Structure 1
């Protein structure tokens, strides 16, 4: 079988991430700009993010492996033989996909955003990027950091579990659904402290977009503390921890006479 070109892989990562963010930021925009609360709530946000992940993975899986997340890409390079030379290009493609998706949402929802927040403040910044406590007081930076480490460790640990053939993983065409449900579950269980970014591209791409489209405080949290770095650094640390946990606590005990990773997951 002919290997995919790097360009094709990057296009797939760009488009898969774009689909993910279109659904994710789109649903948050719909909920936040709904003045009567009729356009959804926390549960609809969690479900739409998960569905967005599933659809993004279906878009890109057979071409690039559908990482859609720099933290996942780094974990795959650490533990699954993914080429380190591709880590930066993949991460850039993911960032650009998230940026373009956020730009589309920003444009389409511009009127409603202006209606509820004409000065583009913290009130609607959360449509695009995460904040400690989802913009409310009471969550410290260390708590938000640890939250993102834990959430991303769970994400990568389970991704490894459902893409490892020796682990009785679901068939390749069902893995995206399971991963989407995983993101729904993380959103419902780990969304309060820091908005479950669990993906540097998902947060930084839209954050940069808002910075250049009127949100002057986009790099900061609601208290004026520089915050953009946290949803980048903490998920990467969490991803490496989650990958290491699976490799050393589960994978080493799996049957050795079967292929390690399903062909479609490579």
Structure 2
């Protein structure tokens, strides 16, 4: 009996020590957790991306060139997926969130939360880069904050069309670029096709963004992301560049806002209609796998989709 009492007391003592080591405060609300994660991963992606632009522009070619910007955004996206992938899905892009809602991979009621979180993260990132590069920007432009011209600096934060680009051509450019983004994201997450290897999803998505930048970026800076573009644009309007950020490029500002969601749905829909809907059952593809192996494969789930395209299934 004495040994039993000592055993019980020892167990209670161990539980007390365990409780002391556990965190006393944590977020249980799933919406708050998702919103914070989406804001933070968007912030990380945008800080690294905008920072690469600021370094190239203010360094006047000494600290990098156009490829540096592509690498900055590509690697920034990869880091963003690592930061929020398992919590929010790390969309970091309202066009991605809208497309996932359209195809039933995200509830429509979640869209406002994702868009707000992305806008907040992008706006704060623009403010951060403004502070970090404040003196470099003013040294570069002599304190004259302009949207166009030889010493224009508004392009550090938001996208603007090349001088030769019309609004129609720019709209098509943004639709097509975002369509390619979502088409390839769907392929990377398609477990019945050739998905990204487990653990390599962030790198794969980052390389995809890099590829789009070096192949489709020269016309208008490949925004392919409404929240990435409009939030920093609003920041620059407030910070000293003024209303020209909305007037420049024949009123270009609405194109990166409207075209990407359309392109996202078209690209994802194209992949689904031409590829995903026609997959043979896994047992047929693999020459008659036993049911246990098939069930095990399906149970593993689509990790890339969880990280890059959609939030946890509990939502």
Report the CA distance between 1:264 and its aligned residue.
5.5
Does residue 221 of the first structure (1) align with residue 221 of the second (2)?
Answer: no
Does residue 25 of the first structure (1) align with residue 65 of the second (2)?
Answer: no
Q: Structure 1: how far apart are the matches of 2:172 and 2:69?
A: 22
Compute the TM-score of the two structures, normalised by the length of structure 2.
Answer: 0.79
Does residue 236 of the first structure (1) align with residue 261 of the second (2)?
Answer: yes
Cα-to-partner distance string for 1:4-33 (whole Å, 9 max, x where unaligned): 701101111100100110011000000000
Q: Structure 1: how far apart are the matches of 2:182 and 2:157?
A: 23
SS in 1 for 2:246: coil
Cα-to-partner distance string for 1:217-249 (whole Å, 9 max, x where unaligned): 122324xx2221110101011001011011111
Q: Structure 2: how far apart are the matches of 1:53 and 1:44?
A: 14
Q: Structure 2: how far apart are the matches of 1:263 and 1:108?
A: 36
Compute the TM-score of the two structures, normalised by the length of structure 1.
Answer: 0.93
Does residue 159 of the first structure (1) align with residue 185 of the second (2)?
Answer: yes
Partner residue of 1:130 out of 119, 140, 159: 159
Could you tell me which residue of structure 2 aligns to residue 185 of structure 1? 211
* Contact 1:172–1:262 (8 Å) recurs in 2: no
Does residue 110 of the first structure (1) align with residue 134 of the second (2)?
Answer: yes
Could you tell me which residue of structure 1 aligns to residue 220 of structure 2? 194
* Contact 1:65–1:265 (8 Å) recurs in 2: yes
Could you tell me which residue of structure 2 aligns to residue 51 of structure 1? 75
Cα-to-partner distance string for 1:26-58 (whole Å, 9 max, x where unaligned): 0000000013x2100011111111000000011
Instruction: Specify whether residues 73 and 4 from structure 1 end up closer, same or farther in structure 2 by C-alpha distance, changes over 3 A only.
Output: farther
SS in 2 for 1:203: helix
Cα-to-partner distance string for 1:120-146 (whole Å, 9 max, x where unaligned): 10210100000111xxx2111111110
Report the CA distance between 1:175 and its aligned residue.
1.2
Q: Structure 2: how far apart are the matches of 1:7 and 1:115?
A: 41
Could you tell me which residue of structure 2 aligns to residue 143 of structure 1? 169
**When the two structures are aligned, how many residues end up with a matched partner?**
258
Structure 2 gaps, min length 5? 1-27, 283-293, 307-315
Cα-to-partner distance string for 1:152-207 (whole Å, 9 max, x where unaligned): 00000001110121123123421111110011111001111111000111111111
* Contact 1:4–1:63 (8 Å) recurs in 2: no
Q: Structure 1: how far apart are the matches of 2:302 and 2:257?
A: 29
Could you tell me which residue of structure 1 aligns to residue 231 of structure 2? 205
Could you tell me which residue of structure 2 aligns to residue 250 of structure 1? 275
Report the RMSD for the aligned CA atoms in angstroms: 1.6
* Contact 1:172–1:265 (8 Å) recurs in 2: no
Q: Indicate the structure (1 or 2) with the bigger Cα radius of gyration.
A: 2
Could you tell me which residue of structure 2 aligns to residue 74 of structure 1? 98
SS in 2 for 1:220: helix
SS in 1 for 2:245: coil
Could you tell me which residue of structure 1 aligns to residue 33 of structure 2? 8
Structure 1 gaps, min length 5? none
Q: Structure 2: how far apart are the matches of 1:206 and 1:83?
A: 27
Q: Structure 1: how far apart are the matches of 2:198 and 2:79?
A: 14
Q: Structure 2: how far apart are the matches of 1:63 and 1:164?
A: 20
Report the CA distance between 1:263 and its aligned residue.
4.5
Report the CA distance between 1:80 and its aligned residue.
4.0
Cα-to-partner distance string for 1:51-100 (whole Å, 9 max, x where unaligned): 00000011111001111100000111111431000011101100110100
Moved more, 169-178 or 235-244: 169-178
Instruction: Specify whether residues 23 and 263 from structure 1 end up closer, same or farther in structure 2 by C-alpha distance, changes over 3 A only.
Output: closer
